[in-house]
Structure 1
């Protein structure tokens, strides 16, 4: 008995083909619609880089308050709209970062990765400028606070004042070190080494001026022109701490008035 094929039966394969093509097309369009958003997703754990503008004037930072997330990398675009030289320092108990000092009308940048949650202080670090009002704060959300002031971690840190490119008034300049996780002991200079204790060596233009167990020293009778100040952290016996820790700054002494 021969099989009977009707026109309707002959149409079925084509209809099935059309349905398959339609399903494939819809699937492709659906995938294509979601693909761009999939590409735009950041890798897990990464933070976007941020840029913010900061204006330095007499005597304020504008703006002076910021909110960020722990792990953010922030590029500060800094403009000096004032009449005097200014800079920007961002710090907490674990980080101390400074921009170059810039003159009136100049610009510079400072990039900071915010490793800790909590509060960072921002100031103009030119001596006296923060006291006049050039201060602010960064509030950082997260779960990794910086160590408390004075908490011993076994990793010394040192901050030197004056800052780089400071203009000296007159012919004398106070030099000061601020230390974290390190104790100065004048009585133990040239004595036996004790972990986390020692002194600092002050150099002026590569010449050793003094070995100091106190945080400050005043240089007197400075000649006109640029001078390089360097502070090096030392163990009690005078050897350099390991890893070596030093900081330096160039100061400008004005010529005497005629």
Structure 2
């Protein structure tokens, strides 16, 4: 009878340890999965376009991560755009609308963004993008 109790005791200890280990593995997998998801969610940069400026006109982003550029032209009376020549990015947005594009800036440095519609850059629609990293 004592041998039976001893075997049941160790069987219970092993079962509890196995269940605990499985729970720990599931928690680690869940944590790893959620951190992967959050790592791929783009950083949003909201730029408001008006006649004839951007707000903000200086942007800073880390290199190598997805960035969602959002140009908000909802308060403007005319069409505007946002162009970053070095990265091949061009957004154009009608008055009263919003446009978005996801980009990965893979090179550190300082870059100019402009509205390339005729006369807009000359009227003041330009800014700086600082890519850090």
TM-score of the aligned structures, taking structure 1 as reference length: 0.44
Change in 2 beyond 3 A, CA 1:132/1:31? same
Contact 2:68 2:100 (C-alpha < 8 Å) held by counterparts: yes
| Partner of residue 65 from structure 2, selected from 50, 69, 72 | 72
Q: Is the 8 A contact 2:42 2:102 kept in 1?
A: no
Q: 2:131 aligned with 1:122, yes or no?
A: no
Q: Which aligned segments of 4 or more residues in structure 1 are displaced greater than 6 angstroms?
A: none
The DSSP-based 3-state class of the residue aligned with 1:25 is helix
1:34 paired to 2:28: yes
**Alignment partners' CA distance in 2, 1:72 and 1:10:** 60
Maintained 8 Å contact 2:80/2:115: yes
TM-score, length-scaled by structure 2: 0.78
Residue 114 (structure 1) shift: 1.4
C-alpha distance in structure 1 between counterparts of 2:119 and 2:106, whole Å: 28
Q: Which deviations, in whole Å up to 9, do the C-alpha atoms of 1:176-228 show, x marking residues without a partner? A: xxxxxxxxxxxxxxxxxxxxxxxxxxxxxxxxxxxxxxxxxxxxxxxxxxxxx
Whole-angstrom distance in 1 between the partners of 2:21 and 2:103: 45
Structure-2 change in CA distance of 1:57 and 1:137 (3 Å): same
Q: Which structure: greater helix fraction?
A: 2
In the aligned structure 2, how far is the partner of 1:40 from the partner of 1:137? 33
Q: How is 1:1-258 mapped onto 2 (pairs within 5 angstroms)?
A: 7-42=1-36, 48-80=41-73, 81-92=75-86, 95-100=87-92, 102-142=93-133
Count of equivalent residues: 131
5+ residue gaps in structure 1? 1-6, 143-258
* Alpha-carbon displacement from aligned partner over 1:54-94 (angstroms, at most 9, x marks no partner): 211012112222221222333322222222221111133xx
Cα deviation for residue 12 of structure 1 reads 1.4
Which stretch of the first structure deviates more once superposed, 11-20 or 72-81? 72-81
Change (3 A) 1:47 1:24: closer
Q: Which has the larger radius of gyration?
A: 1
SS of the equivalent of 2:64 reads coil
Change in 2 beyond 3 A, CA 1:28/1:65? same
Q: Which has the higher contact order (CA 8 A, sep 6+)?
A: 2
Q: CA RMSD in A?
A: 2.5
Q: Which residue is equivalent to 1:255?
A: none
Structure 1 residues 56, 11: closer, same or farther in 2, change over 3 A? same
Q: What stretches of structure 2 of length at least 5 have no aligned partner?
A: none
